[in-house]
């Protein structure tokens, strides 16, 4: 059974991908673990930071139509 965890935005900021920490981002109210993605090095992806809500920036990104896996 999958466990659903809820985050407050200030708590999410702890998951910034720095110094070995997990890297989480929010997109449309869902949290995604990007820790293992080769696109997110040390919590950074083309100027975007892990530990943040990326909904607004993603709406104008070229990858906005891509499929996200939770």
Task: Report pLDDT digits (tens) over 41-57.
Answer: 999 998 899 999 999 88
Q: Is residue 4 part of a domain?
A: no
In the chain, alpha helices (H)? 9-12, 55-59
In this structure, is residue 32 part of a structural domain?
Answer: yes
Number of independent structural domains in the chain:
1
Query: C-alpha dihedral over 57, 69, 39, 48, to 10 degrees?
Result: 20
Q: What is the dihedral of CA 40, 64, 55, 57, to 10 degrees?
A: 80
Question: Does residue 23 lie in a domain region?
Answer: yes
Whether 68 is in a domain gets the answer: no
Q: For residue 40, what are the domain limits?
A: 9-59
12 and 39 Cβ atoms separated by less than 8 Å? no
What pTM did the predictor assign? Answer: 0.79
Above 80 in pLDDT, residue 31? yes
């Amino acid at each position: 059974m999958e466990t659903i965890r809820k985050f407050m935005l200030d708590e999410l900021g702890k998951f910034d991908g720095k110094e070995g920490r997990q890297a989480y981002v929010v997109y449309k109210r869902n949290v995604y673990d990007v820790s293992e993605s080769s696109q997110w090095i040390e919590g950074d992806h083309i100027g975007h930071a892990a530990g943040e809500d990326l909904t607004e920036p993603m709406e104008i990104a070229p990858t906005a139509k891509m499929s996200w896996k939770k």
